[in-house]
Amino acid sequence: MIEETILIVDDEADICEVLDISLSDLGYKVYTAGNGEEALQVFERTKPSIVLTDIRMPGMDGIELLRRIKEQYPETEVILITGHGDLDLAIRSLKLEATDFITKPINDDFLEIALKRAEERISSRKRIREYTQNLERLVREQSEKLVQAERLIAVGQVVDGLASAMRNITEDFEGDLPYFNELPCLVSVHNREYDIVAVNDLYRRRLGERTGCKSWEMYLQTPDTKERSPVIKTFKTGKGQRSKETLIDIQGREMPVVVHTAPIRNKDKEVELVLEISADLVEVNRLQEELRASQERYQQLFDAVPCYISVHDRDLKLVATNKRFKEDFGESGNSYCYEVYKHRNNPCAECPVVKTFEEGISQQYETVVTSKSGDAHNVLIWTAPLRNTLGEITQVMEVSTDITQIRKLQDHLASLGLVLGSVSHGIKGLLAGLDASIYWLDSGLEKKNEERIGKGVSALKLMTRRIRNMVLNLLYYAKERELNLERTSVLAFTHDVANAFEPKIQGQPIRFVRDFQSETGVFEADPGILSSALVNILENAVEACLEDKSKADHDVVFSVKEESDAILFSISDNGVGMDRETMDHMFTLFFSSKGSRGTGLGLFISNEIVQQHGGSIKVESAPGRGTEFKITLPKKAS
């Protein structure tokens, strides 16, 4: 079955349509374009393997299209359609590496021959590419084998060289090994008579002058000490040994050691000498204890830092976290950072850890993360690459500072600025209204016209009420607003909210459902403020339904019922729903999932009002399954 794609370019739509039908029947995936400029756009999007184009076209002709395609994609096969008077152009196209040309009117047999030639060229390139890849693989495998063989030869040469060097050392320095004096180990060389022929300074200081002694005499003596001697075993087997032994130091104390021996061969490959290196286990244990203590100190420092510290591998998995991180985000285990921080299923778009791996330098980034308790935290992130001994980045450390309180202060100031900006325009209108009110009063009093006086008083009352509301809103942002609590009928209040909201939904393809419990009693609330919070949430539900294009019918259900000491309002919809990240941030100031259509103020204000009443909001949602807001308010405000 043919799997090639083909782009047909011709300014005559009928020819494109006929060729589209004909070539589709042959099994090609066909794209069409009416001119050269459109053809380049379609080509960039589809990358067809064959282009069939007319030479004569308005604007960019077929020869220029051929040249442009071949410059960027030289392996694309281009077949040109020519008229009888275009043979010179057709021959020129072959010089530009066109695959073939056919003349109008198009003969089906000639077209199939040209297409077959194009397919053969494509197939040939594929086979050559496969052969080249196989050849490269064989060359790579053989090269690796050759390198391995060379390494083995080199190792053998190094061993021979070391044996020769050790032999020369023992010949040149009678009883001394100055080349090993810097090693923190006991080093000695033994001959075939099992005599010690050379030692380093540390050996001499710890065990005394042992040159000329037998190889086993410095060990703790037991009936089988000689037979267990690592040096004797090395001479007999020709292989290095490793064992735990006990030496007797110069003061007669026992010294536990780990002994390593290595044969030193002569030119005839016979074991001529044995090198013995002993590491003091007491010193090793001391160094290990120091290392463990250092690790504990670093861990304490790691945990004491008042920041979130985490270490990430290249897969963005958390491999280490500090105490503060565990307290707020839990044990990360082998989790991905974006799962723990953001409750996402895929990496963040501007991940600073990924950038650090890619660029090899520290990054700074600010974002909002969500703790295990569901609280949102503004964090300022610094990253640092962690490298191995070869300088390669193996992990990235991330240090995150919680700046939530700073951002809250900034957000509050910013929101106050927004309110002041909008209020300034409103004040201008109110001042104009006050001027008008005063004018009506002055003129009415002057002319003793009661109608004008009445208009002036009414206008003055209206302006006063508007000024009062504006000042209260301003105070709400500037400082916590005092609630005007009243004992309110729950059912009457809920109907008032629904009546205020329902006109806003008229004309929309959404059904508004009231589900009110008949016996709900009374509760303490500021009806004006609380109703605005609930209307905000209802409007959010309408937006979610309008945004959902997957369903024809949508419902917004507003319900209320009485619980033991509380009133439970519920606002649910079957709209688009929300993912976990949106739910975590929905009550954050200026956060909006609506892009430029949202201010990020509505749900923030609603949550503030409900909390000020001593209540809480819980949200249940899932993408495509709608959302439910559960607002719980105490019957008696505290």
For the ranges 91-100, 106-115, 150-159, 340-349, which has the lowest average pLDDT? Answer: 150-159
CATH of the domain at 28: 3.40.50.2300
C-alpha span between 460 and 451 (Å, rounded): 14
For the ranges 52-56, 466-470, 471-475, which has the lowest average pLDDT? Answer: 471-475
Task: Dump pLDDT digits (tens) for 365-379.
Answer: 888 888 888 788 888
Which secondary structure element, helix H or strand E, spans residue 370, and what is its range? strand 364-370
Q: Which of 90, 107, 127 is the last residue of a domain?
A: 127
C-alpha span between 43 and 49 (Å, rounded): 10
- 30 in any annotated domain: yes
Classify strands 554-562 and 100-103 as parallel, antiparallel or unpaired. unpaired
Confidence of residue 558 (pLDDT cuts 50, 70, 90): very high
- 221 in any annotated domain: yes
Quote the distance between the C-alpha of residue 201 and its chain's center.
57
Once rounded to an integer, what is the mean pLDDT over residues 355-384?
Answer: 87
- 152 in any annotated domain: no
Once rounded to an integer, what is the mean pLDDT over residues 462-480?
Answer: 61
Q: Which of 397, 429, 446 is the last residue of a domain?
A: 397
Q: Are 232 and 215 in contact (CB under 8 A)?
A: yes
Residues 500 and 460 in one domain: no
- 41 in any annotated domain: yes
- 612 in any annotated domain: yes
Classify the C-alpha dihedral 295-301-304-309 as positive or negative: negative
> Own/partner pairs for 512-519, CB < 8 Å, 24+ apart?
512/555, 512/556, 512/558, 513/555, 513/556, 513/557, 513/558, 514/558, 514/559, 515/557, 515/558, 515/559, 515/560, 516/491, 516/559, 516/560, 517/491, 517/559, 517/560, 517/561, 517/562, 518/491, 519/562
Q: Are 113 and 134 in contact (CB under 8 A)?
A: no
Quote the distance between the C-alpha of residue 74 and its chain's center.
37
Domain with 82, as residue range(s), is 5-127
- 136 in any annotated domain: no
Residues 90 and 205 in one domain: no
Report the DSSP beta bridge partners of residue 8. Answer: 32, 52
Residues 529 and 630 in one domain: yes
CATH of the domain at 325: 3.30.450.20
pLDDT at position 595, please? 46
Enter the tokens of residue 439. 């004018």
Q: Are 558 and 498 in contact (CB under 8 A)?
A: yes
Residues 472 and 498 in one domain: no
Q: Say if residue 333's pLDDT is above 70.
A: yes
C-alpha span between 383 and 322 (Å, rounded): 15
pTM: 0.36
In a 3-state reduction of DSSP, which class is residue 332? coil
Residues 6+ apart with CB under 8 A from 37: 59, 60
Q: Say if residue 321's pLDDT is above 70.
A: yes
Across the chain, mean pLDDT equals 81
Q: Say if residue 63's pLDDT is above 90.
A: no
Residues 454 and 513 in one domain: no
pLDDT at position 173, please? 45
Confidence of residue 429 (pLDDT cuts 50, 70, 90): low
Q: What is the count of structural domains for the chain?
A: 5
pLDDT at position 1, please? 41
Residues 421 and 510 in one domain: no
CATH of the domain at 474: 1.20.5
Which secondary structure element, helix H or strand E, spans residue 176, and what is its range? strand 175-176
Q: Which of 434, 454, 478 is the last residue of a domain?
A: 478
Q: Are 373 and 330 in contact (CB under 8 A)?
A: no
Which strands sit side by side in the sheet containing 510-516, from one edge to the other? 510-516, 554-562, 566-573, 627-634, 616-621
Which secondary structure element, helix H or strand E, spans residue 77, and what is its range? strand 77-82
Residues 473 and 490 in one domain: no
For the ranges 67-71, 471-475, 501-505, 572-576, which has the lowest average pLDDT? Answer: 471-475
Enter the tokens of residue 107. 């003969």
Residues 272 and 184 in one domain: yes
Phi, psi (rounded to 5 degrees) for 104: -85, 150
Residues 355 and 493 in one domain: no
Residues 366 and 386 in one domain: yes
pLDDT at position 124, please? 80
Enter the tokens of residue 533. 């919070």
Task: Dump pLDDT digits (tens) for 8-51.
Answer: 999 888 888 888 888 888 888 999 999 999 999 999 999 999 99
Confidence of residue 217 (pLDDT cuts 50, 70, 90): very high
CATH of the domain at 575: 3.30.565.10
Q: What percentage of the chain reaches a pLDDT higher than 90?
A: 23
Q: Say if residue 215's pLDDT is above 50.
A: yes
Classify the C-alpha dihedral 322-326-328-334 as positive or negative: positive
Quote the distance between the C-alpha of residue 156 and its chain's center.
49
For the ranges 115-119, 459-463, 501-505, which has the lowest average pLDDT? Answer: 459-463
Residues 491 and 464 in one domain: no
Q: What percentage of the chain reaches a pLDDT higher than 70?
A: 82
Residues 468 and 511 in one domain: no
- 139 in any annotated domain: no
Task: Of 403, 320, 311, 324, give the one whose Cα is nearest residue 357.
Answer: 311
Please report, in angstroms and rounded to a whole number, the separation of the first and last CA atoms in the chain: 78
- 161 in any annotated domain: no
